[in-house]
Amino acid sequence: MRKAIGVTLVLCAGAIGVWVFFWWGLVGGVMQIVEQVKAPHTSALWVALGVVRVLFAGPIAVMATKLVIIPAKKVLGTRTKPPVTPPEDTPEEEVEAHVVTECGN
């Protein structure tokens, strides 16, 4: 059941990201610019906000997607590496060398 909920959340995250990017960001921003250009009294503020909306459609879509993927990861459970432990019967010098090479330091 947890896996189904997690997969559903991930799919919803993708749908939200696509919707925010295309419909809200690109289409909505372009429509806002066109409406202001066609209006009898053009507002520079609304044109600028439309341009900003188009320019930041991608980053906003990524943030919206990540806001849904984070709980999905918690539901699915994240996989972490087990801690690096050397065998019990090794001398101290080899233990330090083992830890340094395994951890990448």
Report whether pLDDT(80) > 70: no
Write out pLDDT tens, residues 10-62. Answer: 899 999 999 999 999 999 999 999 999 999 998 899 999 999 999 999 999 99
Q: Letter for the amino acid at 96?
A: E
The tokens describing 78, both together, are 């994240």
CA distance 42 to 48: 11
Say which amino acid occupies 46. W
* pLDDT in the model for residue 17: 92
Give residues with Cβ within 8 angstroms of 80, minimum separation 6. Answer: none
> Rounded distance, CA 93 to CA 100, Å?
11
Q: Which pair of structure tokens corresponds to residue 32?
A: 């806002």
Q: How many helices (H) and strands (E) does the chain have?
A: 5, 0
Q: Which sequence spans correspond to the domains of the chain?
A: 2-79
The pLDDT, as a whole number, for residue 6 is 85
CB-based contact 10:66 (threshold 8 Å): no
What is the band of 3 on the pLDDT scale with cuts at 50, 70, 90? confident
pLDDT-based confidence at residue 100 (cuts at 50, 70, 90): low
> 77 or 79, which is more confident?
77
Cβ–Cβ under 8 Å, residues 32 and 25: no
Q: Is this prediction's pTM over 0.85?
A: no
